[in-house]
Structure 1
Amino acid sequence: MKILTLETTCDETAAAVITDELNVLSSVVASQDELHQKFAGVVPEIAARAHLERCLPVIHEAVHKANLELSDIDAVAVAHMPGLAGSLLVGVTAAKTLAWLLDRPLIGINHLQGHIYACQVAFKKPIFPCIGLIISGGHSTIYHCRSPFDFEPLGGTIDDAAGESFDKVASMLGLPYPGGPSLSKCALNGDPKAYAFPRPFLNDSSRLDFSFSGLKTAVRYEIAGPGAVDFKSLVIDDQRKADIAASFEQAVVDCLVGKTMLAMQKTGISRVCVGGGVAANRRFREALEQRVAAEGGELMIAPMHLCTDNAVLGAIAIEKIKAGQVDDLSLDAVPGLIRS
């Protein structure tokens, strides 16, 4: 079976062709970074319009790279939740149209579940049950994942997501968008102990939540102090900038790793699966690998190209087909909360 999967939950227009044996025949991603760069963040209206322009070319390229014709596709899957309303509608409409034209099954998938399932695609072995950690620009959540569709939230951010905080701090430091990779690159030359930034909830063993808003504010005060400020006019020498970036990054990593380890202790589950754009962060990957190994656990982090949004996440549709969970043309976009 060959499944065409579509991803338009935020600002990446993506399509992939995947077999029921988890072989990725093609994967195409059209980034919108250049469109949102001057705003230092994703503008929903711009994202939706860009999806409209790019959706059909991306689908065509994915099918072509798989050496197939559209008629060779056996099912169509689309991430229909959660995400930006306009962006989701473009992908859902395209998927429904293709399913109707080709007379093929339609499968709606949960984008967040797909991020964790990417680990099963990458490692080619069952991953459930596991502790699932999703960390990206919109999500910072820990789940008890009993099956591909049974995700129990154990904790998450009560304010900003980790990736959002990376972008905002990078902007304050005058680093280019997207902020996460830029800040991490800057932090390579910095001292992670130079500034004692707060680590909210890290020592609270009663909860598995994150809070990055206060950390972000602490960095702001370190850079410019309280009150209104034009960050574009600030001049920060390179070493101080690197030290702030490294200290901020280390604080985020400590919180993410610490709460993941606490989730392992509370549930007794030793396998940890991680997805989302922040999972590409080198300092985070190394720290979590060391801590999980020290506890005798098993860590699965999706490879770099599967951490950020892409249509290979739609491979979870295979599990839905096996379970007989096929949708009809009433499938709708479910925007919901970006931080869920």
Structure 2
Amino acid sequence: MRILGIETSCDETGVAIYDDQKGLLANQLYSQAKLHSSYGGVVPELASRDHIRKTIPLIKKALKQSNSTSKDIDAIAYTAGPGLTGSLLVGATIGSSLAFSWNIPAIPINHMEGHLLSPILEKNNIKVPCIALLVSGGHTQLIHVMSIGQYKLLGESLDDAAGEAFDKIANLLGLDYPGGSALSLMAKHGRAKRFIFPRPMTDRPGLDFSFSGLKTFVANTIRNNNKDKQTLADIARAFEDALVDTLIIKCIRALKQTSAKNLIIAGGVSANNTLRMKMLKSITNFGGTLFYPKLEFCTDNGAMIALVGMLRFKYGTKHNIEITIKKYWSLEDLPPLIITS
């Protein structure tokens, strides 16, 4: 059984083909980072227009890469939300139209469930129940994963997501968009503890996040200090340490609160090496297991959509050809999966 997955929620166009016996057969990805870099962030209209240009060619490449034809595809999964409305419409319309013409089901997929389950792409069966930390440019969420397909939101960012905070501070440090990875490279040359930034909302109960105050604190520090190369690296190091420590503190708190032992980290920010290393040490000391995807599956991609499409096609409710998008779509609203061996 083969599923074609289409991802167009923001500024990456992803197409993949997943086989339930052979695994991932094709994974095509195009990033719009260069297109949006001069604007310092994603321009929704430009993003949707670029998806229109790139989606069909990537589908053709994925079919060729996997030695598949339309007759080999059993269903088409597409990202239906959350995301940018115009971008979502591109993937949803193309996916549903192809499904109609090929006489197969079209399956709307929650983008965040794709990230949450992306570690499975490595044949690494996650252990449930567990906690999932979803960290990206648009989301920072703590999810209680009671079973695959059954989720409860424990906490989320009240303002900027972690990825947004990375990009905004990177901009203040003079780095190009998207700046998260560039900031991390700069932080490697920073000296620890020259600057100490707050770990927001860790001194009070709860599992929500807020990074706007940290962002302001860092901005004031940049403004009030010399902007030589070493000082900027020291500030980058202090910011990264503060944000990573905040995420870890909240994850450990969530594990204790739910009596879970295992943790998933996924989303674009989960590619951050400092986060991975510090989180691994913390979870190991806690007596649990940490799961995360390969770096290539951390950012938005069609592989995770094809994977979840396979699960929802085999074990979920069947879908008709209606085009579905949801700009805002909570994981808690998803129908449960009845997975049989």
Change in Cα spacing, 1:321 to 1:130, as seen in structure 2 (3 Å) is same
Q: Is the contact made by 1:10 and 1:83 (CA closer than 8 Å) also made in structure 2?
A: yes
TM-score by length of 2: 0.94
Letter in 1 for 2:62: A
Question: Residue in 1 aligned with 2:146?
Answer: 146
Report the alpha carbon displacement of residue 338 of structure 1 after superposing the two structures with TM.
10
Give the Cα–Cα distance (whole angstroms) in 2 for the partners of residues 34 and 294 of structure 1. Answer: 41
Deviates more, 1:17-26 or 1:94-103: 17-26
Report the alpha carbon displacement of residue 22 of structure 1 after superposing the two structures with TM.
6.4
Question: Residue in 1 aligned with 2:93?
Answer: 93
Give the Cα–Cα distance (whole angstroms) in 2 for the partners of residues 275 and 141 of structure 1. Answer: 10
Q: Is the contact made by 1:14 and 1:28 (CA closer than 8 Å) also made in structure 2?
A: yes
Question: Residue in 1 aligned with 2:217?
Answer: 218
Q: Is the contact made by 2:75 and 2:313 (CA closer than 8 Å) also made in structure 1?
A: no
Report the alpha carbon displacement of residue 124 of structure 1 after superposing the two structures with TM.
3.3
Q: 5+ unaligned residues in a row in structure 1: which ranges?
A: 226-233
1:234-256 per-residue CA deviation (whole Å, 9 max, x = no partner) reads 98211011001010000000001
Q: Is the contact made by 2:129 and 2:144 (CA closer than 8 Å) also made in structure 1?
A: yes
1:283-307 per-residue CA deviation (whole Å, 9 max, x = no partner) reads 0000000000001101001111111
Within a 5 Å distance, the mapping from 1:1-340 to structure 2 comes to 1-21=1-21, 23-204=23-204, 206-224=205-223, 236-314=227-305, 315-336=307-328
Letter in 2 for 1:241: L
Letter in 1 for 2:230: Q
Report the alpha carbon displacement of residue 67 of structure 1 after superposing the two structures with TM.
1.2
Change in Cα spacing, 1:23 to 1:177, as seen in structure 2 (3 Å) is same
Report the alpha carbon displacement of residue 29 of structure 1 after superposing the two structures with TM.
0.4
Q: Is the contact made by 1:92 and 1:332 (CA closer than 8 Å) also made in structure 2?
A: yes
Give the Cα–Cα distance (whole angstroms) in 2 for the partners of residues 338 and 189 of structure 1. Answer: 39
Give the Cα–Cα distance (whole angstroms) in 2 for the partners of residues 216 and 288 of structure 1. Answer: 22
Letter in 1 for 2:103: D
Aligned-residue Cα RMSD (Å) equals 1.7
Give the Cα–Cα distance (whole angstroms) in 2 for the partners of residues 153 and 118 of structure 1. Answer: 18
Q: Taking every aligned residue pair, what percent have the same amino acid on both sides?
A: 40
Letter in 2 for 1:222: T
Q: Is the contact made by 2:76 and 2:99 (CA closer than 8 Å) also made in structure 1?
A: yes
1:297-339 per-residue CA deviation (whole Å, 9 max, x = no partner) reads 0100111111100011110122212224221122311112799
Q: Is the contact made by 2:17 and 2:25 (CA closer than 8 Å) also made in structure 1?
A: yes
Change in Cα spacing, 1:262 to 1:108, as seen in structure 2 (3 Å) is same
